[in-house]
Structure 1
């Protein structure tokens, strides 16, 4: 087995991670549920790749994510930083030995559990007390489910508000001196000033080391960072430490940003700060990983990726669910169980580890380390379906500032398709999916130099806390249907139980506009004589020599993707 250690740094990264782990928890539950669809019982996925086995202080076996999560103080809502399985009783002593004067204690009221968390807690309490089979399920009514869904749609403030997963006490780390509801943690400089690796970094490093040292043969780090603000600097310090300590372990980095996090109406000074932050953040983060995948559209709701979805950009609860679904899909091959050579009798095909994907996308051809993430959610049926669209035609980028119409003969792709339907209500076999994708490539006007395809029969499960974002033309199994009522409410987990998915990572010149934009902004606002952001960058502790190094790195990354004639012309 090749284990993965996951790292989540920043608020939106943890929003994404919360959905990601809910998917895993749902798969684990369905695998052992007698009444579940058989496709979930024969997943051929090794969940030990992501999870660790352990034991609580009471001797109860536990199964928790191999995860280190970093966020601001006060960002856990009603959840304790020790998690929920291993919670220790804090000392209630108020003795002050060195002070003889009056002492006053100020404490904020703890956050209360919402309806979803209350029911989770009550069900677990009942399961520990009652041994009556099925007693918990009998207490769940349709009204209660709808009430909970309404609560989640309207009241999610923290990523823990919809998390149904138990975490190890070493997983959740809150940064000291920085409070979620006090500080504006919105740029690289603030992150640098607020975080001292010498003070807090060693504790974070110890937590990571705990999970790594348990691994028999770690395949890599899955690193998710909210790079829209100060956490970029925290993540860069963390990544630098990982590179130094774990030299030969690849890092697959997802740099995520929430939709609608920035307004159009802002001052010129704020605009300069944001574009410089984006350039600096990308440059610093990419220098410490083998492959970086920018994820997060300015408006997910208006993108082609939301063709069958109803997204509210202002709700991180919504957009993070889509990004988490894409990350789940693209990571499935990392935990596929090796099977025999006959694809017809298998439920999976195309297993590959993180090292293989990183080498495939960044170590061949151009030697580029930036990848575009595309998704089809839900993926259309192989035959018929909505406008007879093929899997290739419905894949849409979740990476911002990409070129839609690029023809790149040197592109490298890694695609995952799982839970595909052959037609409405009928699941496609592995061989049917492979044949369909091969046929789509043959008919396409342009095709990549190489594409690795992974296929699984198991669709994406939709757990109860998943947001109501599916359009009316999405059926119970994620099939696309006609005759929908335009004005009816979006569907959630009560109406849609699973969806077929397709996701793709591609090393392509489609990402060239993003790179050129970051390079241009760094030059214009940070390096050129009289640059508007020069003083700002000095306040962030960046000297000209370091900025020039970033400029050179971005230039090389962009040059690797330009067609030969454009590269020679620019020289």
Structure 2
């Protein structure tokens, strides 16, 4: 058994994680549902890779994500930090502390109330409706969808999943407004200050030590604010304590955070924040995937999705679907006596996955993430080449036209359909992708394909974002189904997905921008950001070392190093 531990740090990372775990929860439920499509019962996914089995003190069996989630105190909404399966923590009421004899004042805030969706989950688990003056509650699916579409405040507001008491960590005692917790420096001391670092590390250790053979850590961080400082210290600690465990880092930024107006000082702070955070991350993980398109609503995604960039509930759903698909090879059962090749192909373990994308000996690998959601049909009016052209990037600041003879990629296609709506076989997917690359103008040095019959299920608490020409099974139709611009999870039950991680020099502008800003604003004589970096506890030598790290990354990717740009 080779397990993966997941870490989510920061608000947007937890929004992405909430959707990600909802997808897994739906797959688990559909696999046990005798009325569901048989493809879900033969999905050939090993969910034990992500989940741990346990039991409560009352002996009830549990199956919870192997997860450490970190966010602000109060970010869990109506959910307790101990989850909802296990007993509550012992009372910390100061009136019960026998060693204190002085006066006690108490300030109590009203707990957040469960929204309509969470109420419906609670009553469903009780297996009987809760009585009220108006009689039993009756929840309509339409009302639940509407409640989520207009009223999500916390990532827990749309979470279907039960969590282990060791999973949810709230960072307390910051005494700073979340809006001001907006840069690497302000979060730098959180992990090492007080007991936060010890407590967070102990939570990770709990999950790692019960693994039979941990294969890797998938780490999602909100890189737009102070949680980058928390994450970099945490990653350094992981590198020291689990040096042989590969780390795949998704550095995520919501589209809304990319468009806020900035004055000159804010611009300097943001540029140095991006450069320092990226340099730190690249030192402590094996593979970095930056995600955070400045505007998904202005990308090719609009052909199939109707997205509100400012709505975290919306845009995090796209990133979560992409993460699910790109990491699917790590959970696929290899074909063999127990798994027929007609269901899956291309299973990988974590180490081989990372090593493959580091082909040609490139270090500190930065991969781009492309997705097609839903993926187009394999046959019909669309030619084979258009399947590749349907992919759009979720990684910002790329050279879209870059040609790299050393490019390496991992592509995942699952739930693929033909133009008539019939499910495509694994062999048909392989032949179609192979044909698409043969007709493409540029080809990667190496491309690994993972394919599965099982599509991406769309849980009820998923944003109403599908265009009106997306069918119930995710097939893209020539004519709209309804007048409504957006279709909900009640209209679209599953979708075919295609996602690709690519290691190539297309990411050069992303790295060069951070290197150029670090030199101009923090390293060169008279740099305007020197004082800011010192306030973050970074000495000149350490900043210069970061510049060297970024410079080597540029040199490894740049086919013409003498023309390397320091542009900002």
Please give the TM-score of this superposition, normalised by the length of structure 2. Answer: 0.94
User: Match of 1:482?
Assistant: 478
Q: C-alpha separation between the residues in 2 aligned to 1:2 and 1:363? A: 23
Structure 1: tracts of 5 or more residues without a match:
130-138
User: Match of 2:63?
Assistant: 63
Q: C-alpha separation between the residues in 2 aligned to 1:208 and 1:112? A: 30
After superposing the two structures, state which structure 1 stretch, 388-397 or 527-536, moved more: 388-397
Query: Is the CA contact (8 Å cut-off) linking 2:19 and 2:317 kept in structure 1?
Result: yes
- How has the CA–CA distance of structure 1 residues 310 and 386 changed in structure 2, closer, same or farther, with 3 Å as cutoff? farther
Query: Is the CA contact (8 Å cut-off) linking 1:71 and 1:175 kept in structure 2?
Result: yes
- The SS at the match of 2:88 is coil
Q: C-alpha separation between the residues in 1 aligned to 2:321 and 2:456? A: 8
User: Match of 1:544?
Assistant: 540
C-alpha displacement of 1:198: 5.9
Q: C-alpha separation between the residues in 2 aligned to 1:13 and 1:180? A: 20
Q: C-alpha separation between the residues in 2 aligned to 1:285 and 1:83? A: 30
C-alpha displacement of 1:101: 4.7
Please give the TM-score of this superposition, normalised by the length of structure 1. Answer: 0.94
Q: C-alpha separation between the residues in 1 aligned to 2:508 and 2:218? A: 24
C-alpha displacement of 1:182: 5.4
User: Match of 1:135?
Assistant: none
Aligned pair count reads: 559
After superposing the two structures, state which structure 1 stretch, 337-346 or 82-91, moved more: 337-346
Give 2:433's match in structure 1, choosing from 432, 437, 457. 437
- The SS at the match of 2:181 is coil
Q: C-alpha separation between the residues in 2 aligned to 1:61 and 1:277? A: 44
Would you say 1:328 and 2:329 are equivalent positions? no
- How has the CA–CA distance of structure 1 residues 40 and 502 changed in structure 2, closer, same or farther, with 3 Å as cutoff? same
User: Match of 1:8?
Assistant: 8
User: Match of 2:127?
Assistant: 126
C-alpha displacement of 1:364: 2.9
Matches within 5 A, 1:391-470: 391-470=387-466
C-alpha displacement of 1:34: 1.3
Per-residue deviation, residues 374-396 of structure 1 (Å, max 9, x unmatched): 10101000012568763211111
- The SS at the match of 2:380 is coil
Would you say 1:288 and 2:289 are equivalent positions? no
After superposing the two structures, state which structure 1 stretch, 307-316 or 180-189, moved more: 180-189
User: Match of 1:265?
Assistant: 261
User: Match of 2:504?
Assistant: 508
Would you say 1:34 and 2:44 are equivalent positions? no
Matches within 5 A, 1:19-418: 19-88=19-88, 90-91=90-91, 94-95=95-96, 97=98, 100-126=101-127, 144-178=140-174, 184-196=180-192, 199-340=195-336, 346-384=342-380, 390-418=386-414
- How has the CA–CA distance of structure 1 residues 510 and 311 changed in structure 2, closer, same or farther, with 3 Å as cutoff? same
Query: Is the CA contact (8 Å cut-off) linking 1:74 and 1:181 kept in structure 2?
Result: no
- Runs in 1 of length 4+ with deviation above 4 angstroms? 96-101, 179-183, 341-345, 385-389, 568-571
Q: C-alpha separation between the residues in 1 aligned to 2:515 and 2:435? A: 39
After superposing the two structures, state which structure 1 stretch, 424-433 or 389-398, moved more: 389-398
C-alpha displacement of 1:559: 1.2
Would you say 1:519 and 2:515 are equivalent positions? yes
C-alpha displacement of 1:342: 12
Query: Is the CA contact (8 Å cut-off) linking 1:340 and 1:346 kept in structure 2?
Result: no
- The SS at the match of 1:104 is coil
C-alpha displacement of 1:487: 5.5
User: Match of 2:133?
Assistant: none
Query: Is the CA contact (8 Å cut-off) linking 1:365 and 1:410 kept in structure 2?
Result: no
Q: C-alpha separation between the residues in 1 aligned to 2:302 and 2:166? A: 36
Q: C-alpha separation between the residues in 1 aligned to 2:357 and 2:200? A: 30
- The SS at the match of 1:422 is coil
- The SS at the match of 1:427 is coil
- When the two chains are superposed, the root-mean-square deviation of aligned CA atoms in Å is 2.2
User: Match of 1:136?
Assistant: none
Q: C-alpha separation between the residues in 1 aligned to 2:521 and 2:178? A: 29
- How has the CA–CA distance of structure 1 residues 197 and 6 changed in structure 2, closer, same or farther, with 3 Å as cutoff? farther
Give 1:567's match in structure 2, choosing from 554, 561, 564. 561
After superposing the two structures, state which structure 1 stretch, 259-268 or 517-526, moved more: 259-268
Per-residue deviation, residues 256-277 of structure 1 (Å, max 9, x unmatched): 1111114342211111111110
Query: Is the CA contact (8 Å cut-off) linking 1:87 and 1:169 kept in structure 2?
Result: no
Q: C-alpha separation between the residues in 2 aligned to 1:550 and 1:482? A: 51
